[in-house]
Amino acid sequence: MSIQYRSHRTTRAAQAVVAAACICLPAFASSAEEPDNHQHAHVHGIASLGIAVQDDVVTLAFESPLDSVIGFEHRANTPAERSSVDKLQARMKAPGDLFRLTPAAECKLQKAEAESAIFNPPAAGAAADAHADLDASFEYRCAHIDRLASVDVGLFDAYPRLQKVAVEVASGKGQFKRDLQRPARIVSLSR
Ligand SMILES: [Zn+2]
């Protein structure tokens, strides 16, 4: 297991949870001016998932080392690697059974975004980074938010290299953390 601490420019799950009201901001804008003011643990096999519930909107912020979802962290060099990256990006646009909200709540995906350093061409003069993350966010609007009880997380089925998901939940009922260890998959939204 490889561990690397580094500053991180994009919105983290924790930040999304705290700033749930501002989740509509361009969370993944990679402005060079944005301050690198927090440390992020990049640990292969461990991802994070923020679940923020506000009014009738549920926002999921998923962050993972790329190694855990595609098995490498560099820009694609081969057709097989390109295919893996394409599949990852497609899945992040249509997460399907990666996240299943309580059916009775009738939540519909409104917005899905995913970013990673390897999705874009390297910036001129940028130093090669040995590690890279996936940062994705998903916004659902629910017809019956009062019926929302849990999120069924299918990440372990989809990504065999993933062993643990550190979950942070924030809702009108409070905030708490809960870790999902393979093969667990249900995150209850009540304490
Ligand atoms: Zn890594």
How confident is the model over 134-176, as pLDDT tens digits? 999 999 999 999 999 999 999 999 999 999 999 999 998 889 9
pLDDT of residue 123: 75
pLDDT of residue 22: 32
Helix (H) or strand (E) segment spanning residue 165: strand 164-171
pLDDT of residue 130: 82
What does pTM read for this prediction? 0.78
Cα–Cα distance between 176 and 131 in angstroms, integer? 29
Say if residues 58 and 148 touch (Cβ distance below 8 Å).
Answer: yes
Distance 76 CA to ligand 1 centre (A): 15
Residue type present at position 175:
Q
> For the chain, which residues score pLDDT lower than 50?
1, 6-39
Tell me the residue range of the domain where 129 lies. Answer: 3-188
Q: Name the DSSP letter for residue 10.
A: S
SS (H, E, C) 24-77: CCCCCCCCCCCCCCCEEEEECCEEEEEEEEECCEEEEEEEEEHHHHHCCCCCCC
pLDDT of residue 29: 36
pLDDT of residue 124: 74
The token duo for 103 is 């059916």
pLDDT of residue 12: 45
Distance 138 CA to ligand 1 centre (A): 23
pLDDT of residue 3: 55
Distance 4 CA to ligand 1 centre (A): 7
Half-sphere exposure of 151 (CA within 13 A, CB side): 29
Distance 66 CA to ligand 1 centre (A): 7
Distance 6 CA to ligand 1 centre (A): 11
- The number of domains in the chain is 1
